[in-house]
Structure 1
């Protein structure tokens, strides 16, 4: 109740502040004009920015704009990504009107693009920034053919990785995105420059991002995005926690134009059919063999996508842009047949099959996911120059993914009277994500001010279907409500900035300061009793007799429900103040600095700082560099998460308890309270524009992180099992500050444009990222674990951090436009990744080689409004290397491939769906 009252009071203060500021403002003047293209047509959606201020306007459908300003002299800059950015100076008088028109010429260079992220005081072009920033336009976003925002980012920014794991519980439905080879929770996501809340889900099982709670960027509809700014530099001193790897700022559309789009696609692929190494499947002798896996065809993963967005704007500088989107993606399955005995009789008879004749028991691939998303962005300029703004949206998602098949012979997990032939359990998710921000900004006493408040919330409900609780016997239900995770975030910001001139030379000094107050909330709600209870039913053998000493595994198979002991309702608050200063010492030399102080109610205070500089050697040749310190606070999910889940280790199921660090169980195993991560970031680079149609940037970086928070290894040794058996689980794990890491890398981005005059225009782009992460320090295993022959952080988790993401990523694209025809070709080389087993083994450790993935599409405009597009992603039907160890059925050794059932690894950075073909129709409205 107190929190809701506080929100209402703060919202009221925004209105009062706007009204007071309005009373103090003098009479305004007006700047109007029109932005046109090379042939004189009006350019819709172009931005007219007032340099050094937060003011500006977007052009309407005829290319016109209007800005209300206080009297004074201003520099205006016209911007539309893909075109040059001309400037002009205007003198505004009280009550007067001045006209400035702009003409935009087509350009390939993204260095002309203006970004807000990275500076608190002024929007600047990419080449003017002292730190590396990528700007991805709406046209580039549309050209990818992808519908998920995270996949779009992976295709356009070489520093972004978005793996597609499978059979990883909730992670199948909310996949984490990473930047520069670091963690998914070490990249800060902003929406319209405001901090975006994270997902309630913490990724637990064997995937990149394990132990991390990331922002669900797919909850932001791609159809509503104007452009995306990717800051590839640590920025915690500017934006606070989580910005160790960098910042992704997603800017929503605000123009009057709109689009209606419909798309359908599906896979058309052939998988398997590769020669792999393994052990003999049926002889019982672990002799290395070479095997040819069968070849199968698939036409699944059907995608139905529809999106509508439209804006309205008036001559009084008011706008509202809104959109809705529906995306239904069917599941994909890339498993092979199950060669193991399926019945007790087959076990007795020693019946084994090969990978082409056994039953298809499993599903391995993309989960089935359906999203209904909506978002809006609005602004209202008062006559005195104060702007009111608001934006927000919702995402309702339903997902369904499979777990591991339970055979009828697995009598501790399967109730034969319910599933006489075994069963494949499913996790079904219902995810609700919504957010809303509102604020006011203006100018008073020479200061630009921005006061805002906003709230975001993510709910993740787990349901388990087509399953059983083996400990309940025949009384077990088959569907279970397993509980709900909730994360909420309330943000409040006051930002101030102004420019002053110092010294006799009048050197411009841009100042910024501000304060932030944030409240984080986290809840775990328990599931139905049947989803976790130990019903005490006996384990029966093939003849229906009780197996003495055997114990049925309690809880819903694949995902036991959250128990009342897991339930938590936790919150914390965070207060921060910051100050930024930057100055163009000369027209060629810029320096900036930032400092930030934060206090968290649960672990204390921290101070971070950053300095950056840019030197223009000659026009179009810029040197830049930065040094900063950063931090990431332990998330509430990492501090309080608690659950029990089934994990398979070499084919053997273990009920793994994730214990909060403050619990008695975790303390018995040596857990300590979590500390924040701290980092030092170094970057140095060059931005070059040797010709109007050619540009490229090269940036080196190093990121050192201490006290990095990871999820420990699964503790499943005999001693731990004996310790945990009274609790009904066979293993445990917890979060810990286990390692220090060092990441070195380089980013290269180049653009080239070529006008073919009457034959059209070609835009070429290439990008490359290389990064290498090394654990420089691994914490000693606490004696509580060492005495039980366990490792706190071993080979499996170390490989996930150091080798689980591609060290190299190269992408290149070519866009050709000729009148109404558009052709796009894009290729991307994903570098190798490595997975390792608990114990070193040439048969179980594997490096998956680099692969090239190529996408093509063609579009054609009809009647100037309709656009027809057809394309193919992964047109050459490339798959990752197959898992090289097929295991041994007789010895019950699963190998990397789970007895050959899983041909592909979830660590593949591009997934393993194969070729995807689609058709799309769009109409401008």
Structure 2
């Protein structure tokens, strides 16, 4: 179903609909082609189209408008970038609180994020219950303030030799504002107003308020201080269906009385966020400058979990006579600080910096209980503390030798990862031995689960960026990187661009990359009490590969991932009106790290109790070097600029395709097969996670028109199909492919005065939803929509915004 669009949006929407030929390519980012890039090369005069590898340049205005939904940087990047995926999660454990992003269909930990060219730290919380990003600790994009950004440069190519490990899919470099004067105040309010088909109701929810402020001032002779704040508050959204009561639950009168009610939650949880940032530089001497920048983020979020029925082993009716649905609470603190000195030392440019970033996450539950403690169980628990810290020292030198720019440097990095136990009641095994132990919806970390790991990483690199006449340019880089526990690895990259005719050029690159398993993948352990994929209540353990139980099941030491990237592209710029880039790529990755399938069943339970004295373990999993993969794809970006009607029109089309195939899968260890010959270490569910759970294609078409008073924009997005696979055992493997969906966004902004402007806009104006899940997957009507499709399950969103710039 759809809603009438508010009248002032009509002109903006017409921009998107008036150019159907371009819509075949689809939409997104207004690339600033004449901006000199600083990512992917040491040359000081290259623009995006002149780069030897594909680079997107997103302006502050692009990001500000695309992030209208909840003020999220991740959502803005999904709207603007051809191969960036940032799905919304629900009933997905930690992923309800820290969402993971993908570039080129690869894992979230295979993209490197920089801020002002300096490595950004990852989050501390391990996503173990999500589909996208399962088993990773991704960078929290939403901890980076929107109003801090001057522009973002996205290098879509392997860059381990240039920037260090993790840069397998590419590099996202967030460049902060540096204006020495002026500022802005901005406030927005929006909400979802949508027809929810599974319950046949029109719903208004997800009310979101945003306020941002920033200001700049000069420091000394040519220095600056720029700083800002943001506050965001978003109400939850719920798209759950009517409960049909799972057949394995007790078919009692009290349980059956809940049939036809909305007992579950499917959608966004409530969230409150405060962000702060600063960026500063002060001249030192005649040729130097001291600089510093940092970000600060604090959020409180709520997540969804499965309902527990009144008459069930997980409930005491003395506490919850009508059953209960546990709610997860996330307390997320994220901070980074970088300080350094840069300048000229004779003919050399130097940059020395210290960089510290950390993330602290506390996970709590409310409206829960520990059934084994009986009817006096607490209902609120802290289930664990998570912390990751990263400290770096960088020293870089560069110098131009005619048409060649040489650069070299060293980096020393310290990583620390730590987890803390939950409340004793969150993991206690109480006197009621016929009931599940631990807090429902996520048992607390036990003292035996906690991890305290650290490692040192050092690297040295050199690169040369060269220009040979007017037609040929090259980038060559080499790096030696040493990881404590994994030894050293050489990586290299060769990239070149040749302009074979005026306004036409070929470019290509070859590189190898290296990613060591994260500290969390090495040492994270957890004990859980929850529901498996088929909805059955289960007590399980996620084990580190060092755990004796895991070793007895066949776990081995994790090995680093090694990859080879190949790319070949074509660029064209015809006059001031039209430009285009088309790039093909192949990424081969050996020994990809992933979570194993859950090993379940009575043989496991008996084996663990008999050999290790641990009772009630019904499920076990651990990290493995799961598979070798090959990802092939292509990306197209096209822009058309034209003066029109007293203003400027910009049309942008993008299209991306990425297909990942499994080349080799790890064999199930003989130790696990000895327990049960039907066990599979890496099977259809986790294979689905790596291959086709994310859309292979995305396409966008955007139209933007501006003059002195009006700014109109519209964007059509096509989110490709995605596939979900469950393995419920006994040969029952329900599979569903969710078809491609289109999304229409539009905004009109009016400048009342040179300083004041107001805007009215909407996202997903046609109120599009992902396909309804089949009966086998919709969990008895409760979860009618999957989280895989980027179009989401929130429906249409309308907003208004006021801005004062000075």
TM-score range, shorter chain: over 0.9
SS in structure 2 at match of 1:115: coil
Structure 1 residue ranges, 4+ long, deviating more than 4 angstroms after superposition: 341-346, 348-354, 839-843
Aligned residue number for residue 4 of structure 2: none
Q: Does 1:586 align with 2:469?
A: yes
Q: Does 1:387 align with 2:289?
A: yes
CA contact (8 A) 2:32 2:59 kept: no
Q: In the aligned structure 1, how far is the partner of 2:738 from the partner of 2:476?
A: 43
Aligned residue number for residue 246 of structure 1: 170
Q: In the aligned structure 2, how far is the partner of 1:591 from the partner of 1:652?
A: 57
Q: In the aligned structure 2, how far is the partner of 1:299 from the partner of 1:834?
A: 29
Which of 724, 739, 745 pairs up with 1:835?
A: 724
1:341 Cα deviation after fit: 8.1
The TM-score, its normalising length taken from structure 2, stands at 0.93
Residue 814 to residue 529, structure 1, CA distance change in 2 (3 Å): same
Which of 718, 729, 748 pairs up with 2:636?
A: 748
Q: In the aligned structure 2, how far is the partner of 1:344 from the partner of 1:767?
A: 48
CA RMSD, Structure 1 to Structure 2 (Å)? 1.9
The TM-score, its normalising length taken from structure 1, stands at 0.81
CA contact (8 A) 2:299 2:332 kept: yes
Q: Does 1:470 align with 2:368?
A: no
Residue 370 to residue 349, structure 1, CA distance change in 2 (3 Å): closer
1:420-569 paired onto structure 2 within 5 Å: 420-501=321-402, 508-537=403-432, 551-569=434-452
1:724 Cα deviation after fit: 4.0
1:353-752 paired onto structure 2 within 5 Å: 358-410=260-312, 412-501=313-402, 508-537=403-432, 551-645=434-528, 646-724=530-608, 726-752=614-640
Q: In the aligned structure 2, how far is the partner of 1:665 from the partner of 1:649?
A: 23
Structure 1 range deviating more: 133-142 or 191-200: 133-142
Q: In the aligned structure 1, how far is the partner of 2:804 from the partner of 2:441?
A: 45
Aligned residue number for residue 879 of structure 1: 769
SS in structure 2 at match of 1:190: strand
Show CA shifts across 1:97-132 (max 9, x none): xxxxxxxxxx97632222111013435201221010
Which of 728, 731, 747 pairs up with 1:857?
A: 747
1:592 Cα deviation after fit: 2.2
SS in structure 2 at match of 1:665: helix
SS in structure 2 at match of 1:399: strand
Residue 109 to residue 165, structure 1, CA distance change in 2 (3 Å): closer
Aligned residue number for residue 48 of structure 2: 126
1:840 Cα deviation after fit: 9.4
Show CA shifts across 1:689-708 (max 9, x none): 01211111000000000000
SS in structure 2 at match of 1:882: coil
Structure 1 range deviating more: 329-338 or 814-823: 814-823
Residue 236 to residue 345, structure 1, CA distance change in 2 (3 Å): closer
Q: Does 1:329 align with 2:234?
A: yes
SS in structure 2 at match of 1:462: strand
Aligned residue number for residue 761 of structure 1: 648
Residue 915 to residue 348, structure 1, CA distance change in 2 (3 Å): closer
Aligned residue number for residue 49 of structure 1: none
Structure 1 range deviating more: 242-251 or 715-724: 715-724
Residue 345 to residue 883, structure 1, CA distance change in 2 (3 Å): closer
CA contact (8 A) 2:695 2:789 kept: no
CA contact (8 A) 1:109 1:693 kept: no
1:374 Cα deviation after fit: 0.2
Q: Does 1:302 align with 2:207?
A: yes
Q: Does 1:917 align with 2:777?
A: no
Q: In the aligned structure 1, how far is the partner of 2:201 from the partner of 2:540?
A: 35
CA contact (8 A) 2:327 2:366 kept: yes
1:620 Cα deviation after fit: 2.1
Aligned residues: 767
1:331 Cα deviation after fit: 1.0
1:315 Cα deviation after fit: 7.0
CA contact (8 A) 2:741 2:791 kept: no
CA contact (8 A) 1:724 1:731 kept: no
CA contact (8 A) 2:648 2:707 kept: yes
Which of 691, 695, 698 pairs up with 1:806?
A: 695
1:843 Cα deviation after fit: 7.7
Aligned residue number for residue 7 of structure 2: none
CA contact (8 A) 2:37 2:46 kept: yes
Aligned residue number for residue 69 of structure 1: none
Q: In the aligned structure 2, how far is the partner of 1:771 from the partner of 1:855?
A: 24
Q: In the aligned structure 1, how far is the partner of 2:640 from the partner of 2:732?
A: 45
SS in structure 2 at match of 1:486: strand
Q: Does 1:866 align with 2:756?
A: yes
Q: In the aligned structure 1, how far is the partner of 2:31 from the partner of 2:156?
A: 18
Q: In the aligned structure 1, how far is the partner of 2:250 from the partner of 2:127?
A: 39
1:84-233 paired onto structure 2 within 5 Å: 110-122=32-44, 124-144=46-66, 145-146=68-69, 147-233=71-157
Show CA shifts across 1:550-608 (max 9, x none): x2111110011111001121100001000101221222111221110011112211111
Aligned residue number for residue 706 of structure 2: 817
Structure 1 range deviating more: 767-776 or 906-915: 906-915
Give ranges in structure 2 of 5+ residues lacking alignment: 1-28
1:221 Cα deviation after fit: 0.6
Residue 842 to residue 732, structure 1, CA distance change in 2 (3 Å): closer
Show CA shifts across 1:533-560 (max 9, x none): 001225xxxxxxxxxxxx2111110011
CA contact (8 A) 2:605 2:615 kept: no
1:212 Cα deviation after fit: 1.0
Q: In the aligned structure 1, how far is the partner of 2:594 from the partner of 2:341?
A: 40
Which of 704, 723, 735 pairs up with 1:845?
A: 735
CA contact (8 A) 1:109 1:694 kept: no
CA contact (8 A) 2:30 2:58 kept: no
1:348 Cα deviation after fit: 6.2
CA contact (8 A) 2:522 2:558 kept: yes
SS in structure 2 at match of 1:302: strand
CA contact (8 A) 2:220 2:283 kept: no
Q: In the aligned structure 2, how far is the partner of 1:120 from the partner of 1:627?
A: 18
Q: In the aligned structure 2, how far is the partner of 1:346 from the partner of 1:500?
A: 80
CA contact (8 A) 2:399 2:407 kept: yes
Residue 720 to residue 270, structure 1, CA distance change in 2 (3 Å): same
Larger RCO (alpha carbons 8 Å, 6+ apart): 2
Q: In the aligned structure 1, how far is the partner of 2:264 from the partner of 2:730?
A: 28
Show CA shifts across 1:199-232 (max 9, x none): 0011101321101111001100111100010000
Residue 846 to residue 317, structure 1, CA distance change in 2 (3 Å): same
Residue 418 to residue 755, structure 1, CA distance change in 2 (3 Å): same
